[in-house]
Structure 1
Amino acid sequence: MEPTFAPLETDRLILRAMTLDDAEDLAERRSDTTTALYQAWRAPYPVERARELIAEITSRPGPVPGHWYQLAVVRRRDDKVLGDVGLHLSGNGKTAEVGFTLHPWARGQHYATEATARLVDYAVFDLGVHRIEASTHPHNIASVRVLERIGFMAEGIRREAYWVDDEVSDDAIYGLLARDWRARREQD
């Protein structure tokens, strides 16, 4: 199925539907051990698995309740894929979870902050989401900083709640209410 999702734009970025042409890039990004360290997959990440994930994502026209929808994060000036952001809608569509992953060479330039903030805009203003959540490993300081810059509030730690294969870790939970996001945007 051809993606029908209309791209989201920022000053420096375009967030667009993934295509099968993104599979090798996705596999490369997910195969990086520093990227995989706090994620739900193990490195190396095979290209075939990336193709399967993209095919599953693009089988839907955009975000739908109960599923993740990932977007490629593309730098405007050179059309280079920097990473991806994801949105998962709850069954009733009133709560969303966001996630982000960038290539190591694209980190430290606030691309994750910019892309995730745009995704939150979309969730709040276009989808009418009431609450946005994010979770990360408590030691993933870079992701924690991204979430805090956007305005997410630390809500607690779920002890030994996150499993990857047979390893368990704590899960730091962050939340942002739509009303707080709207108020923040009105101040910008």
Structure 2
Amino acid sequence: MISHYREAVAFAPLHTERLVLRPFTEADAEDFATRRSDPETAMYQAWRVPYSVDKALALIRESAAHDGPVPGGWYQLDVERRADGRTVGDVAVYLHEHGHTAEVGYTLHPWARRKGYATEATAALIDYLVDTAGVHRIEAATHPDNSRSILVLERLGFLAEGVKREAYWVEDEVSDDAIFGLLAREWRARRNAMRL
């Protein structure tokens, strides 16, 4: 089967009504480490607190080694408000081996939650994945108790596809993993219906 994934080109920032999604720079490391060091933010995530600036720099450098998302690795984007340039959080995408499937994730500062930023930023990322990268399926996974994250996914049109029992490990702790999926054709139909 021929891949529909288009090779990554230099990633141009994505603009929404209120936000800009852009590749991380090393100047973002301290803010990123602060966000990931918040216990509430880290509660359902794959990292432990505190999250060091050195770890943040390593992740940023790894992501910056690519011009955009490439199969087999995570690509992180800073999300900042257009009004004042302040970072509200980040979104990330992992392209699976053949580029047909992508996994998305998002993390916001506590002060930036419940303002629709995660939904707005992730929608822009999905637009990019479907329209520019040619991705067929977008996935997301979260702890079954992470109701706020699940609400974001539902707003975007993701469907709950099941729960993998005791499948998600963070060091020596295991939890269930709720799986959500969205097909490119479903996203296009939803987007077109919203424009009517």
The interval holding the TM-score normalised by the smaller chain is over 0.9
Is 1:61 the counterpart of 2:67 in the alignment?
Answer: yes
Matched residue, 1:159: 165
Corresponding residue to 1:26 among 32, 43, 46: 32
Is 1:121 the counterpart of 2:121 in the alignment?
Answer: no
Q: CA RMSD, aligned part only?
A: 0.9
Matched residue, 1:130: 136
Corresponding residue to 1:12 among 14, 18, 34: 18
Q: Which amino acid aligns with 1:79?
A: G
Secondary structure in structure 2 of the residue aligned to 1:44: coil
Secondary structure in structure 2 of the residue aligned to 1:60: coil
Tell me the distance in 2 between the aligned counterparts of 1:47 and 1:90. 28
List runs of 5+ in structure 1 lacking aligned partners: none
Q: Percent identity?
A: 64
How much does 1:5 deviate? 1.9
Corresponding residue to 2:184 among 168, 171, 178: 178
Matched residue, 1:79: 85
Is 1:111 the counterpart of 2:117 in the alignment?
Answer: yes
Matched residue, 2:104: 98
Tell me the number of residue pairs that the alignment of Structure 1 and Structure 2 aligns. 186
Q: Which amino acid aligns with 2:112?
A: A
Q: Which amino acid aligns with 2:177?
A: D
With structure 2 as the length reference, what TM-score do the two structures score? 0.94
How much does 1:137 deviate? 0.2
How much does 1:63 deviate? 0.3
Tell me the distance in 2 between the aligned counterparts of 1:146 and 1:161. 22
Secondary structure in structure 2 of the residue aligned to 1:186: helix
List runs of 5+ in structure 2 lacking aligned partners: 1-9
Corresponding residue to 1:148 among 151, 154, 157: 154
Tell me the distance in 1 between the aligned counterparts of 2:66 and 2:185. 29
How much does 1:165 deviate? 0.4
With structure 1 as the length reference, what TM-score do the two structures score? 0.98
Task: Point out 4+ residue stretches in structure 1 off by more than 3 angstroms.
Answer: none
